[in-house]
Amino acid sequence: MLEKEYYDKTDEIIAAHGRTQADLIPIIQEIQEAYRYLPPELLTYVAKELSIPESQAYSVATFYENFSFEPKGKFLIKVCDGTACHVRKSIPILETLYKELGLSKDKQTTDDMLFTLETVSCLGACGLAPVLTVNDKVYPAMTPEKAIEMINELRGA
Amino acid sequence: MGKLTDRASLVQAREALKKEIDSNKCRILICAGTGCVAGGSGEIYDKMCQLVEGHPGIEVKFEDHVDHGDGDIAVRKSGCHGFCEMGPLLKIEPQDILYTKVKLEDCEEIFHKTIVGGELIPRLLVQQDGMEVPKQEEINFYKKQNRNVLKNCGHIDAEHIEEYLAIGGYKALEKVLFDMEPQAVIDEVSAAGLRGRGGAGFPTGKKWAQVAGQKEPKRYVVCNGDEGDPGAFMDRSIMEGDPHKMIEGMAIAAYAVGSDEGYIYVRAEYPLAIERLRNAIAQAEEWGLLGDNILGTDFSFRLHINRGAGAFVCGEGSALTASIEGNRGMPRVKPPRTVEQGLFDKPTVLNNVETYANVPMILDNGADWFKSIGVEKNHGTKAFALTGSVKNTGLIEVPMGTTLREVIYDIGGGIKDGGQFKAVQIGGPSGGCLTAEHLDLPLDFDSLKKIGAMIGSGGMVVMDDKTCMVEVARFFMNFTQNESCGKCVPCREGTKRMLEILERIVAGKGTLEDLDVLEELSEMITDTALCGLGKCAAQPVMSTLQFFREEYEQHVVEKKCVSRNCEALRKFVIDPDKCKGCSKCARNCPAGAISGQIRKAYSIDFDTCIKCGACVADCAFDAIHIEW
């Protein structure tokens, strides 16, 4: 069971949107933004409040890539592997970061909850390929060396 | 500024705003597109503001002042100039000077030398044929372009509706509201021959007429800003750089089809576009250009923004509307089509960003003007995102029918790092590739369709001789397979099997039969998948198989990757002349693939070798090398 303030916050978000099926996605997007993940308890709660079967809310939340039931690290790193970044060698950057952070495709968040490493299909910053983002800030023209430098800086921050 | 409640007040406001902007002796435009922001243009903007503000004797009005006053120098954040490779960009108007790769340290010099002193700074100018080119219009990258849709991107401040109004914004909406019947608007768009810029090229006027003809009185106007094709960012730049143009286009569509409510669906990966659109809608409402009784007429139009949640398939019409409704974004069987039963089961106009952005210009300048650009049945311009192994990456706009050669060599400046042109992937994971033999092919809907490719949304990724086409096909199949929603079997299972085969081939385990199976599956998926995503899923494989079959065969027969991409096809070889027979590599090989006798040359068994590279690192005599 989550603390009461989680539910209070959720009530606030629901009030700002409404209680129809069409409000479901914007509501859970905002919850995810507030906590950097979607606590499953809150999805159940939202479904009840919106009078939607929980199974249906769950089916929506699991369909979209952006929702995560797992807490994410303080720094969410997204390595772009869109076409333009891919042909300008984004995979070596991803592999370097996996190695540096001790992560893999199956384990995306470090135990100290500092970093989460994901890939994204295209950030639309193709002119600066290869790119990655840290909490939505774009880092242009990356190399494996620059990525390590960036991690060291973030660790110190 | 209060709400505009009639035509006269809009005309008056526009004139006043224009006068104010004209009174600026100099405008400094700093690109605030995603690319340049990443390069630090935000700090450059702040610094320029400080400098201009701190300079005695020059009175300046800044962004926050809605009335531009009679300041001498204006500092503005503009939309994307398109020349992303050279960012951050700083443009000085009316002199049309474009400074590239500007750094924070350059600001003082730009201010004192150029703004105050009127002197150019050569190192910040674009170099062309060994010469510095000061003016933007003389730079090759821009010279061959015809920027209509993107005209305001890089020229006006996207965060202020006043700038859009000053250059004639909302004039087309004003014209249709007061001078035209809805049917006349549809006729004009039809006469212009505007075709949907989202990929399929469906005639926009026809779509609008179909919605207008429905019995159901409630209709929706929806904008598809879910630009998910990797390697495409035209719509992002329009939403970020000139949001009002698209909003005006949507309002005109709403008037034409009798709708009072619209939605813009933007992918979540574009936070800046969402922010600018929200801001633009709020400003348009404030000015009375959106909302109830626009400009005092009976026409009302409210606009909402929905954020995507990371599903590529939501770029498909019925999946997109399902997502707005709060459901899983899965396509459905058609008919009924979106024009009949779209969003909330009501008749819906669904067009993409660039299509809507074309609309105000058509109404403003007339269908004949629009038809004068481009080629037969493919009128107007098309924006492309030019990326990959090309010198000048960025956002470009050319008349329909421009050849690939002009785009890549004249605008793009040719292949990067002296490489050889190999192919262009056009239309993203649903498109195909074009090769050197297509360099003189005109880029338009019909010419591309004929050879099995498509414009798609307009992503154009240039590939050089270091790119392996089999790997590229695998890359796209991996993308599509990931994004398949799973509703229909051909796409869900078919893409998975195709991906397995492609993975096998790049791992050096493919056979010639695999190529036949790939072709068979491609045909089957194309024929039987439910939606556009599935129907086009095999396109990259089919077109690479068609144009680069030789490369596939090298992978499966000779186990070779000539472009040196597929690491599994590397061969580690010991040079018998250099090898001293020390046995170190054999002892350390984790796969036991190296054998030989002490003090005689060792050798590596290719089939056992796992290509880990440990032996290369171990060898003290530099006797082991890699063969491709």
Q: Distance between CA B79 and CA B243 in Å, rounded? A: 10
Closest CB from A64, A66, A126 relative to B231 = A126
Which residues in A lie closer than 8 A to residue B229 (C-beta atoms)? 122
B442 — contact with chain A (CB < 8 Å)? no
Q: How far is CA B65 from CA B62, B74, B152, in A?
A: 6, 11, 21
pLDDT of residue A27 exceeding 60, the answer is yes
Q: Token digits for B1?
A: 């500024």
Query: For the packed helices A24-35 and A4-17, what is the interaxial angle rounded to 10 degrees?
Result: 140
Shortest distance, CA B140 to any CA of chain A (angstroms): 17
Question: With contact defined as beta carbons under 8 Å apart, do B55 and B111 qualify?
Answer: yes
Q: Distance between CA B14 and CA B20 in Å, rounded? A: 10
pLDDT of residue B65 exceeding 60, the answer is no
In the Cβ-directed half-sphere of A69, how many Cα atoms lie within 13 Å? Answer: 11
Closest listed residue to residue B79, CA positions, set B155, B160, B168: B155
Lowest mean pLDDT among A13-22, B87-96, B245-254, B538-547: B87-96
Q: What is the mean pLDDT of residues B199-209?
A: 93
B residues 318-337 lying closer than 8 A (beta carbon) to A: 323-330
Q: What is the mean pLDDT of residues B11-30?
A: 89
Q: What is the mean pLDDT of residues A121-138?
A: 87
Which pLDDT does position B71 carry in this prediction?
Answer: 56
Task: Answer whether A129 sits within 8 Å of B385, measured CB to CB.
Answer: no
pLDDT, tens digit, for every residue of B130-146? 899 989 889 999 999 99
Which pLDDT does position B57 carry in this prediction?
Answer: 58
DSSP states of B191-237: HHT-B-TTTT--BHHHHHHHHHT-S-S--EEEEEE---STT--HHHH
Q: Is B452 exposed, middle or buried (0-12, 13-18, 19+ CB in 10 A)?
A: middle
B340 — contact with chain A (CB < 8 Å)? no
Which pLDDT does position B365 carry in this prediction?
Answer: 97
pLDDT of residue B491 exceeding 90, the answer is yes
pLDDT, tens digit, for every residue of A79-93? 999 888 888 889 999
Question: With contact defined as beta carbons under 8 Å apart, do B191 and B311 qualify?
Answer: no
Question: With contact defined as beta carbons under 8 Å apart, do B458 and B397 qualify?
Answer: no
pLDDT of residue B374 exceeding 80, the answer is yes
pLDDT of residue B584 exceeding 50, the answer is yes
Shortest distance, CA A113 to any CA of chain B (angstroms): 23
Q: Distance between CA B627 and CA B339 in Å, rounded? A: 58
Task: Answer whether A25 sits within 8 Å of B395, measured CB to CB.
Answer: no
Q: What are phi and psi of A74, to 5 degrees?
A: -60, -40
Task: Count how many residues are written for chain B.
Answer: 628
Letter for the amino acid at B9? S
Closest listed residue to residue B114, CA positions, set B69, B56, B53, B52: B52
Which residues in A lie closer than 8 A to residue B385 (C-beta atoms)? 126-127
The CATH number given to A75-156 is: 3.40.30.10
Between B489 and B93, name the one with better pLDDT. B489
Lowest mean pLDDT among B10-24, B50-64, B585-599: B50-64
- List Cβ neighbours of B11 (8 Å cut-off, separation of 6 or more): B174
Shortest distance, CA B101 to any CA of chain A (angstroms): 12
pLDDT of residue B183 exceeding 90, the answer is yes
pLDDT of residue B199 exceeding 90, the answer is no
Task: Answer whether B230 sits within 8 Å of A128, measured CB to CB.
Answer: no
Closest CB from A29, A123, A139 relative to B269 = A123
Question: With contact defined as beta carbons under 8 Å apart, do B302 and B291 qualify?
Answer: yes
Q: Distance between CA B291 and CA B281 in Å, rounded? A: 9
Q: Token digits for B580?
A: 């001293």
Which pLDDT does position B61 carry in this prediction?
Answer: 40
Percent of chain B scored above 90 by pLDDT?
Answer: 78
Task: Answer whether B35 sits within 8 Å of A127, measured CB to CB.
Answer: yes
Which residues in A lie closer than 8 A to residue B429 (C-beta atoms)? 83
pLDDT of residue B509 exceeding 50, the answer is yes
Which residue blocks in B294-425 are alpha helix, DSSP H? 317-324, 353-365, 367-371, 404-405
A148 — contact with chain B (CB < 8 Å)? no
When pLDDT is cut at 50, 70 and 90, the band that residue A137 belongs to is: confident
Q: Distance between CA A151 and CA A75 in Å, rounded? A: 10
A86 — contact with chain B (CB < 8 Å)? yes
Closest listed residue to residue B568, CA positions, set B604, B613, B603: B613
Task: Answer whether B388 sits within 8 Å of A22, measured CB to CB.
Answer: no
Q: What is the mean pLDDT of residues B331-345?
A: 96
Average pLDDT, rounded, for chain B: 92
Task: Answer whether A127 sits within 8 Å of B325, measured CB to CB.
Answer: no
Q: How far is CA B40 from CA A1, B35, B484, in A?
A: 44, 9, 37
Task: Answer whether B475 sits within 8 Å of A137, measured CB to CB.
Answer: no
B428 — contact with chain A (CB < 8 Å)? yes
pLDDT, tens digit, for every residue of B258-272? 999 999 999 998 999
All structural domains of chain A with their residue ranges: 4-63, 75-156
pLDDT of residue B214 exceeding 50, the answer is yes
Closest listed residue to residue B316, CA positions, set B153, B593, B532, B102: B532
Q: Distance between CA B399 and CA B378 in Å, rounded? A: 9
Q: Distance between CA A75 and CA A142 in Å, rounded? A: 17
Q: Which helix (H) or strand (E) holds B475?
A: helix B469-483
DSSP states of B285-315: HHTTSSBSSGGGSS--BEEEEEE--S-GGGG
Closest CB from B85, B325, B467 relative to A127 = B85
Name the one residue in this structure whose structure tokens are 């004009």. B188
Q: What are phi and psi of B314, to 5 degrees?
A: -70, -5
Q: What is the mean pLDDT of residues B135-164?
A: 92
Task: Answer whether B233 sits within 8 Å of A26, measured CB to CB.
Answer: no
Q: What chain A residue is nearest to B268 in terms of C-alpha separation?
A: A66
Range among A110-124, B61-75, B502-516, B595-609 rated most confident:
B502-516
Task: Answer whether B387 sits within 8 Å of A126, measured CB to CB.
Answer: yes
B residues 21-50 lying closer than 8 A (beta carbon) to A: 34-35, 37-39
Q: Distance between CA B60 and CA B47 in Å, rounded? A: 14
Letter for the amino acid at B184? A
Q: Distance between CA B204 and CA B354 in Å, rounded? A: 12
Letter for the amino acid at B619? C
Query: B168: phi > 0 → left, psi -120 to 50 → alpha, else beta; which?
Result: left
B309 — contact with chain A (CB < 8 Å)? yes
Task: Answer whether A65 sits within 8 Å of B309, measured CB to CB.
Answer: yes
Q: Which residues of B211-237 are buried (b: 16+ CB within 10 A; e: fewer)?
A: bbebeeeebbbbbbbbbbbbbbbbbbb
Closest listed residue to residue B424, CA positions, set B505, B532, B415, B479: B415
Q: What are phi and psi of B352, to 5 degrees?
A: -95, 175
Q: Is B10 exposed, middle or buried (0-12, 13-18, 19+ CB in 10 A)?
A: buried
When pLDDT is cut at 50, 70 and 90, the band that residue B429 belongs to is: confident
Lowest mean pLDDT among B10-19, B27-36, B371-380: B27-36
Q: Distance between CA B399 and CA B168 in Å, rounded? A: 23
Task: Answer whether B232 sits within 8 Å of A21, measured CB to CB.
Answer: no
Question: With contact defined as beta carbons under 8 Å apart, do B327 and A25 qualify?
Answer: no
Q: What chain A residue is nearest to B39 in terms of C-alpha separation?
A: A140
When pLDDT is cut at 50, 70 and 90, the band that residue B583 belongs to is: very high
Q: What is the mean pLDDT of residues B16-33?
A: 88
Which residue in A90, A105, A128, A134 has the most chain B C-beta atoms within 10 A of its own C-beta, making it the best mutation to test that interface? A128
Q: Give the CATH fold of the A4-63 domain.
A: Arc Repressor Mutant, subunit A (1.10.10)
Q: What is the mean pLDDT of residues B169-189?
A: 98
Q: What is the mean pLDDT of residues B171-184?
A: 98
Lowest mean pLDDT among A60-74, B54-68, B241-255: B54-68
Which residues in A lie closer than 8 A to residue B387 (C-beta atoms)? 83-84, 126-127, 129
What 3 state SS string does B598-618 have? CCCCCEECCCCCCCCCHHHHH
Q: What is the mean pLDDT of residues B218-244?
A: 93
Q: What are phi and psi of B454, to 5 degrees?
A: -150, 155
Q: What is the pTM of this model?
A: 0.92
Which residue in B153, B270, B327, B417 has the most chain A C-beta atoms within 10 A of its own C-beta, making it the best mutation to test that interface? B327
Which pLDDT does position B66 carry in this prediction?
Answer: 33
Which residues in A lie closer than 8 A to residue B233 (C-beta atoms)? 122, 124-127
Q: Token digits for B118?
A: 């009127």
Closest CB from A60, A121, A127 relative to B84 = A127
When pLDDT is cut at 50, 70 and 90, the band that residue B179 belongs to is: very high
Which residues in B lie closer than 8 A to residue A137 (C-beta atoms)? 38
Which pLDDT does position B60 carry in this prediction?
Answer: 43
Task: Answer whether A124 sits within 8 Å of B34, measured CB to CB.
Answer: yes
Which residue in A65, A87, A123 has the most chain B C-beta atoms within 10 A of its own C-beta, making it the best mutation to test that interface? A87
Q: What is the mean pLDDT of residues B454-458?
A: 83
Which residue blocks in chain A are alpha helix, DSSP H? 4-17, 24-35, 40-49, 54-63, 83-87, 91-101, 144-156
A51 — contact with chain B (CB < 8 Å)? no
Which residues in A lie closer than 8 A to residue B37 (C-beta atoms)? 138
Q: What is the mean pLDDT of residues B340-361?
A: 97
Q: What chain A residue is nearest to B84 in terms of C-alpha separation?
A: A127
Q: What is the mean pLDDT of residues B274-295?
A: 97
Task: Answer whether B306 sits within 8 Å of A25, measured CB to CB.
Answer: yes
pLDDT of residue A49 exceeding 90, the answer is yes
When pLDDT is cut at 50, 70 and 90, the band that residue B94 belongs to is: confident
Which pLDDT does position B67 carry in this prediction?
Answer: 36
Which residues in B lie closer than 8 A to residue A20 (C-beta atoms)? 326
B484 — contact with chain A (CB < 8 Å)? no
Which pLDDT does position A123 carry in this prediction?
Answer: 83
Which residues in A lie closer than 8 A to residue B324 (C-beta atoms)? 22
Q: What is the mean pLDDT of residues B21-42?
A: 87
B227 — contact with chain A (CB < 8 Å)? yes
Query: B48: phi > 0 → left, psi -120 to 50 → alpha, else beta; which?
Result: alpha
Letter for the amino acid at B377? K
Q: What chain A residue is nearest to B471 in terms of C-alpha separation?
A: A87
Task: Answer whether B328 sits within 8 Å of A83, measured CB to CB.
Answer: no
**Three-state DSSP class for B416?**
helix
